[in-house]
Amino acid sequence: MGASFKLGIVGGAGWLGGAIAGAALAAGTVRAENLTLSYRRNKPDRFSSALWTTDNQMLADRCDVILISVRPEDWPSLDLNARDKLVISVMAGIRLAAIGEKHATSRVVRSLPNAAAEVANSYTPWIASDNATQADRDFTRAIFDASGVQDEVGSERDIDYLTGLTGSGPAFPALLAHAMMRDAVAFGLAPEIARRAVNTVLTGSGRLLEARDASPAETVHAFLDYRGTTAAAIETMRQAGFEQAVANGLAAAFKKSIAMGNSD
């Protein structure tokens, strides 16, 4: 598929749907005049050259590919017949078979981008149904390459696990940043200095890991071997159960993803 194909995003007014749309437009993956987005209440004031609608079936009929970006709890009420077009879901927990059955298509992709799609830096795992074509897979790669980095994975179980690891992922550095900032403010630093220090540390660390393409374990070991202040902090955090807390959190997210898919 070239940029002349027509993409419809159900839930284009939402955070993730809008982020994917913006990334696809910026990368030239789709042209604005070939983009249709749906909304429920208030028409957003963005993507003015695209078509906005409250009619999801009209969106489906007009487009070659339909991307569904609604909350999983809202999905059961979504009435849309895809007529065997490619449907890409970015909903957590909802299985390929359920999506295909509900929307009358055998060509389905289940994916899990994250909020960093807003800055074209999402990690997106995805898996396609057996009847998805090579062109379907090529388009899926293109749309999620525009949003960051993508990988086709081997099973829906992988997607369920990655729902916590990468789908929820941007929340975890934010949680760490919040804890660090609270401690800094409690120590006596001005909030604006604490916020700038913490945010810079985390964004800088991410860029360093990306630039070096190094194993995180190698970075940790390098600091431990130096036996300085960082080593003291790491050892104390580990003794307090940091790694087990992370593992428990990922396990909880995995179980929740499975439960969401079985809630019907």
- Whether 214 has a pLDDT exceeding 80, the answer reads no
d(CA 69, CA 19): 11
DSSP secondary structure string for all residues of 56-89: HHHHHHH-SEEEE-S-TTTGGG-----TT-EEEE
Indicate the SS3 state at residue 154: coil
Q: What angle do helix axes 216-226 and 191-212 make, rounded to 10 degrees?
A: 120
d(CA 68, CA 96): 13
Within 10 angstroms of residue 12's Cβ, the number of other Cβ atoms is 27
Per-residue pLDDT of 141-171, as tens digits, reads 999 999 999 999 999 999 999 988 888 877 8
Residue 2 is predicted with a pLDDT of 62
Residue 261 is predicted with a pLDDT of 73
Which residue's structure tokens are 């916020």?
195
pLDDT band at 48 (very low <50, low <70, confident <90, very high): very high
- Whether 1 has a pLDDT exceeding 80, the answer reads no
Residue 42: C-alpha distances to residues 7, 131, 138, 141, 253 (Å): 21, 36, 33, 31, 32
Both tokens of 110, joined, read 């289940």
pLDDT band at 258 (very low <50, low <70, confident <90, very high): confident
Burial 221-256 (b: 16+ CB within 10 A, else e): eeeeeeeeeebeeeeeeeeeeeeeeeeebbeebbeb
- Whether 264 has a pLDDT exceeding 60, the answer reads no
| 86-91, long-range: CB < 8 A, 24+ apart | 86/132, 86/136, 86/139, 88/126, 88/140, 88/143, 90/16, 90/17, 90/20
- Whether 252 has a pLDDT exceeding 60, the answer reads yes
d(CA 185, CA 121): 30
Both tokens of 167, joined, read 């789908």
What pTM does this model have? 0.84
Per-residue pLDDT of 52-76, as tens digits, reads 999 999 999 999 999 999 999 999 9
Q: Are 250 and 84 in contact (CB under 8 A)?
A: no
Q: Which domains are seen in the chain, by residue range?
A: 7-157 (3.40.50.720), 171-261 (1.10.3730.10)
Residue 263 per-residue DSSP state: -
